[in-house]
Structure 1
Amino acid sequence: MLRLGNPVRRLRAAMLVMAIVLSLFAGRLVQLQGLDSKVLQAKAVQQRVQPEILPARRGAITDAEGHELAVTVEAREVYVDPKDVDPAKRELVATTLARELNKPKQDIDAALAKVTQRYIPLARDVEPLRAKRIMGFKLRGVGTKETYRRLYPGKSLAGGLLGFTGVDGRGLEGLESAYNDVLAGRDGKQSIELGANRQRIPMTRSQREAPVPGRDVRLTIDRDLQWAAEQTLARRVNDTGARSGSVIVMDVLTGRILAMANAPQADLNDWQSAPAEDRANRAVSEIFEPGSTNKVITAAAAMEAGVVTPDTVFRVPDHIQCADRQLKDAHPHAPESMTFTGVLAESSNVGTIMAAEKISSQRLYDMFRSFGFGASSGSRVPGEQDGLLPRWETWSGSQRCTIAYGQGISVTALQMASVYQTIANGGVRVTPTIVAGTTDAHGAFVPAPAAKGTRVISETTARSIALMLEAAVGHEGTGEEASIEGYRVAGKTGTAMRYDEKCAGYCGYTATFVGFAPADQPRLMALAVIQDPKKDHYGGAVAAPVFKDVMTFALKNRKIPPTGTKAPAMVLRPAG
């Protein structure tokens, strides 16, 4: 007979199993709601809470009158959430975004394929109207976020000086980099709770720390003068087949830089497309041998020592022996009597060497240092180089002679401009400045401290050299092409052999003209330097016309009238 099981025993066994299962559920429930509740709650919040950076608006860079040279405007960042994109419409999404963002479709496809990621930026700096158009297609998984982009209204205007920012908004070169802490401000942040569909959960908590906008930087640059200088320089570089060029205009009395131009120069709105050398500020970063523009320092040293005057007469041959080298004037000539004024006006190398022989090497070296050679100008212009000024103890026999007329030392365009500002300012060197001031946290303008002035040479010596430089622009001087009708102009040409690392020696020339006006009451100084011109190479022919055009514009721009006086007659050669 078949014996049936005990139902009571089976019931007890079933009840025991159910008790065990329920105790497991209860234990897990206690663990979840009791022991691990805070941990799990934190994880849940972490999954829901979306942290977000609120970018600060970058401050503007303006010219002296407040015209914007670099400005920040609203933009949008376009992103995708690949997990939220409908697989059936992935091709449509990729094609649409590639077209609207002007990006390769394969890049969009690659982003959409990362379905485990919830946020992939596709494009920054998108114009708000274009972003609105994209959102109008109602593509699921595609979104936009408010941001900013840097814009340069003048494109290449003052490009080498301003510099540019990277994709993260930080300054990379130029003033954008040097004043990044002032311009950048401080980003804010916020956190909000999002649901499974990436939409904000209503009535949930949020935290927000507002961004602090950057402060503005106001320059001493005059926008219109900067534009005129760049246009004039670019034409001359192109016409002469030159490699590059720079122009500087300064206020004689204050040392403020009114224009700092370079050519060629990059469009800052597309700086990635330009070669590195066209993004640099050559006016302070490129060093060169100054040539005859340097002769004013030799003249100042000799006159301050009391060994020569403008009327001192020299019997000048066309060549002179210096140690193991025979050095020559630019053009052959029979020995002739010339005043020291004539030596400077006609840019005689030999005559300058003869004057330099009357003073010690140390005195000449000390005068170079006093004018600022071999050291930064103190302008705080980004990228400025110190130049090269060998210690006088290391000068060779011939180097002592060549340094006197500007070969064997190297300077920047700004250093040489500072020399002539000093002479024009009665012998007082004022530290060049490029930043007029900044705004404070409330938007009020805070001017920069006034530049420091240092006497380098006596007023008498400075005025004498100014008159000698007027003769250099006269019809017997080398700088006649720099004369401006109705104005008294003082200045000096420079033509120097150009050292080039690519040819490991001297290849080509550097043509320079630097001067100031009105010569009897100096207000403005300007310098033009042209590197490696192929059509002619003398400073008087290549660079002087640039000075003339830029200075003529500057005088009108600053509303500086002629003084109405006439230059005194200067003796270049003694009678008889």
Structure 2
Amino acid sequence: MTSRRGRGPAAPSPPGGPRRTSGPGQAGRGQSTRGQTGRGQAGRGQSGRGQGAAGRSGVRGAGGAERAARRDRDARPPTAPRRRPRALLRRRIVRRDPIKRLNVGLLLVAFVLSLFAGRLVQLQGLESKGYAEAAIRQRLNRIPLPAVRGAITFAQGQPLAMTVDARVIYADPTLIQQYEQKNHTNIRNKIATTLASMFGLDPATLLKKLTPRAKMDRYRELIHHVEPDRARMVTAMNFTGIGTQQEYRRIYPGGSLAANVVGFVNAAGDGAAGLESSTNKLLKGRSGWQKVEVSEKGQRIPMGEDQQLKPIPGKGLRLTLDQDIQWKAQDAIAKQVKATKAQSGSVIVMDPRSGQILAMATAPTFDPANYGKYPESDWGNRVVQDDFEPGSTSKVVTAAAALEAGHVTPDTVFDVPDHITKYDRTFHDSETHPTESLTFGGVLAKSSNVGTIMASDRLTNAQLYQYMRAFGYGQETGIGLPGEDAGSLKPPNQWWGTDRYPLAFGQSVSVNALQVASVYATIANHGVRVTPSLIAGTTDDHGNLTPAAKPAQRRVISGTTAAELTKMLEGVISKEGTAPAAQIPGYRVAGKTGTAQRVNPRTGNYTGGGYNATFVGFAPAENPQLVVEVVLQKPQNGYYGGEVAAPVFKDVMSFALQSRRVPPSAGRSQKIRISPDQR
């Protein structure tokens, strides 16, 4: 017999016939239904059955109640088990399944390996070039390779300036720092103290250079121009991070000889004065470099990266200076500056035919190897850098203009007083004298200011200016020395009132000493001006000479005018002239004195300014070979050019003529008429 609604077999009927199931007894069936659906609860089922049993107990008694309860228990289905949480269930499954556990582990390992593989691909594939370049940069050490600076020599090849082997002491600050960290010591102080005592340097400055500025500070130059023997002493000390490297040192075998021409090289290796400065690019050449790989200990890595740009040696200069004549000129002017207590002095010796400078000396001078011990005013070349009013030496330009224009001849007579008034100014001769008749040759021989003004009246302003420019006033000489002062010459449209008259006898115009020497070289060269030159040519690193281009030439006056001027200038050296002290036995000499007032920079006028004393001339007068000029700036013991400058001219010219083996003059000096009644 099936249960109602198909819910399972019906419970067997108790003895005595079927029992009624209506009323409270339904609770038992309800419990059974809930148990099958999983929603029934034991308490409620038990309660219903209790109630049914209690209802029946009053009818059937105690035995019937027990049997009914037992039947209900037997008919009740088992209670469903409680469900466990799903996470706990998964853990139990994993623990119980080793294959799954192995798969999970393999997945984790594969993930980690994929991360490493990706990083390797990034480092060795995508970014490998950048890291390789960074590694090379850390190992590469760039070493400068300086070029050998060209030598400067005299005309005969004796060295004036030359380059010799030397060493630079350098440091590897990073390596020193690593050594200190590894050994827990402070070696930098010891290095700085030792090197400072050896080379007379400041220990604090060296210590600062030994301290790294960046993470890979591998090269720092400490001391330059060290002699090789002393550099070997430093190497023998075996300091970590200290080494030596080849470089070059500039030396000057002649000391102060021609120092103001040659100049010097500064600590950076560049020319800072003289020809060392003006021809620095030519002399210096082109420096090179070398890149080598070094280990962290500072040792070169064999077969490592090695890049190199070879240096190109500089060209050498062969000058036109004659060593013996240069020495004589320098010695003579130094003695005279000292004897006259002059502010400074200079001497120029020049070949008028070629324009070559054979000597260019100034005093005071300096030692280019120790230039820092001398005032900067002594480093320059006063021959081209100091301008001054030429005074009477400039009268030859006025004379040349008047002769060339045909307004006068050497025998033209002038009645010359000791003063002359032009407009609101009065001009005087250097000495008081009565009015005297002088030929134009006599005007030049006696160096009369008044007579020169009278002759210049026959020239226009344009003519006077034209010849001054033609002789080189107001423009650079072309010598190629640095810092040249071209002087000052105003054009005629800027002349006012009486400006032209002092110009005629050498005031109100400024020149440098080489400009004046060039004027007399032009006359000595028969009226042709040759640009002055100091450089005979350049030499390569094997000593092969490449001659310099010939200097420019131009005719300024005719040969006839030049000959007339030469004859007039010989009269200056005569007993009637202003410079008999310039006479040289056996040689005919032509020249001119100059005694010019100096402008006082404090007042702007000539009061208290002192004088410049000058003498310039050439010999032999009949066939000029040499021009010599002497200038003394502000001498105290005498100031007339014929007294203090002419003796130096004689001394230097006599030596130069003998040194150049110039034969004596064949005849006596030509006589010129100083006055019209002279025969």
| 1:71 correspondence with 2:162 | yes
Question: Which residue identity is paired with 2:121?
Answer: V
Q: CA deviation at 1:439?
A: 2.5
The AA in structure 2 aligned to 1:297 is: V
Aligned partners of 1:29 and 1:226: how far apart in 2? 76
User: 1:407 aligned to 502, 507, 529, which one?
Assistant: 507
Residues 397 and 58 of structure 1, relative CA distance in 2, 3 Å threshold: same
Note if 1:317 corresponds to 2:417: yes
CA offset at residue 207 of structure 1?
Answer: 2.2
Q: CA deviation at 1:443?
A: 4.5
- The CA distance in 2 between the partners of 1:514 and 1:121, in whole Å, is 51
Q: Measure, in 2, the Cα distance between the counterparts of 1:372 and 1:91.
A: 62
Shift of 1:356: 1.0
Residue in structure 1 matched with residue 3 of structure 2 by the alignment = none
Q: 2:190 aligns with which of 79, 85, 92?
A: 92
Give 2:125's aligned amino acid. Answer: G
Instruction: Quote the residue 1:111 is aligned against.
Output: 209
Unpaired segments of 5 or more residues in structure 1? none
Question: Unaligned 5+ residue runs, structure 2?
Answer: 1-88
Aligned length: 575
- 1:277 Cα deviation after fit: 1.9
Cα distance in 2 for residues equivalent to 1:244 and 1:17? 95
Corresponding residue for 1:528? 630
1 CA distance for matches of 2:119 and 2:279? 59
Deviation, structure 1 residue 462: 1.1
The CA distance in 1 between the partners of 2:159 and 2:514, in whole Å, is: 24
Quote the Cα distance in structure 2 between the aligned partners of 1:65 and 1:365. 41
Query: Is it true that 1:572 corresponds to 2:674 in the alignment?
Result: yes
User: What's the offset of the Cα at 1:440?
Assistant: 4.9
| Alpha-carbon offset, residue 10 of structure 1 | 7.4
Distance 1:353 1:147, change over 3 A: same
Any idea what SS the aligned residue of 1:218 has? strand
Structure 1: which amino acid aligns with 2:139? R
Task: State the partner residue of 1:561.
Answer: 663
After TM superposition, the structure 1 = structure 2 runs for residues 159-178 of structure 1, keeping only pairs within 5 Å, are 159-178=259-278
Deviation of 1:442 after TM superposition, in Å, equals 6.3
Separation of aligned partners in 2, 1:437 and 1:262: 24
Match of 1:252, SS state, is coil
**1:449 matched to which residue of 2?**
549
Q: Structure 1 residues 437, 115: closer, same or farther in 2, change over 3 A?
A: closer
What does residue 81 of structure 1 align with? 172
Larger radius of gyration: 2
Per the alignment, in what secondary structure is the counterpart of residue 401 of structure 2?
Answer: helix
Report the residue type matching 2:152 in the other structure: I
Within-5 A mapping of 1:476-487: 476-487=576-587
What is the CA-CA distance between 1:458 and the residue it aligns to? 1.7
For the 8 Å contact 1:100–1:134, the answer to whether it is kept is no
Confirm whether residue 435 of structure 1 aligns to residue 535 of structure 2.
Answer: yes
Is the counterpart of residue 25 in structure 1 residue 116 in structure 2? yes
Question: Are 2:299 and 1:208 equivalent residues in the alignment?
Answer: no
The answer for the alignment partner of 2:199 in structure 1 is: 101
Deviation at 1:412, TM superposition (A): 1.0
Instruction: Look up the SS of the partner of 1:123 in the other structure.
Output: strand
Match of 1:249 in 2: 349
Q: Distance in 2 between matches of 1:265 and 1:562?
A: 33
Q: Which has the higher contact order (CA 8 A, sep 6+)?
A: 1
Match of residue 183, structure 1, among 245, 270, 283: 283
Structure 1 match to 2:616 = 514
Distance 2:211 2:127 in 1: 36
1:432 match: secondary structure:
coil
Q: Offset at 1:15?
A: 5.2
Is the Cα contact below 8 Å between 1:215 and 1:443 reproduced in 2? Answer: no
State whether residues 48 and 193 of structure 1, in contact with CA within 8 Å, keep that contact through their aligned partners in structure 2.
yes
The offset of 1:191, in angstroms, is 1.5
TM-score, L = length of structure 2: 0.81
Give the equivalent residue in structure 2 for 1:370: 470
Note if contact 1:161-1:281 (Cα within 8 Å) is conserved in structure 2. yes
* Alignment partner of 1:539 is 2:637: no
* Distance (whole Å) between structure 1 residues aligned to residue 602 and residue 234 of structure 2: 50
Q: Are the aligned partners of 2:140 and 2:305 in contact in 1 as well (CA < 8 Å)?
A: no
Rounded Cα–Cα distance in structure 2 between residues aligned with 1:285 and 1:115:
44
RMSD value over aligned CA atoms?
Answer: 2.1
Contact 2:570/2:670 (8 A) holds in 1: no
Q: Contact 1:471 / 1:490 at 8 angstroms: preserved in 2? A: yes
Residue identity matched to 1:174: G
Name whichever structure is richer in helix by fraction. 2
Q: Which amino acid is the alignment partner of residue 394 of structure 2?
A: N
The aligned counterpart of 2:31 is: none
Residues 319, 536 of structure 2: 8 Å contact kept: yes
- Are 2:381 and 1:281 equivalent residues in the alignment? yes
Contact 1:161 1:382 in 2 (8 A): no
- Displacement of 1:51 in angstroms is 2.0
Partner of 1:338: 438
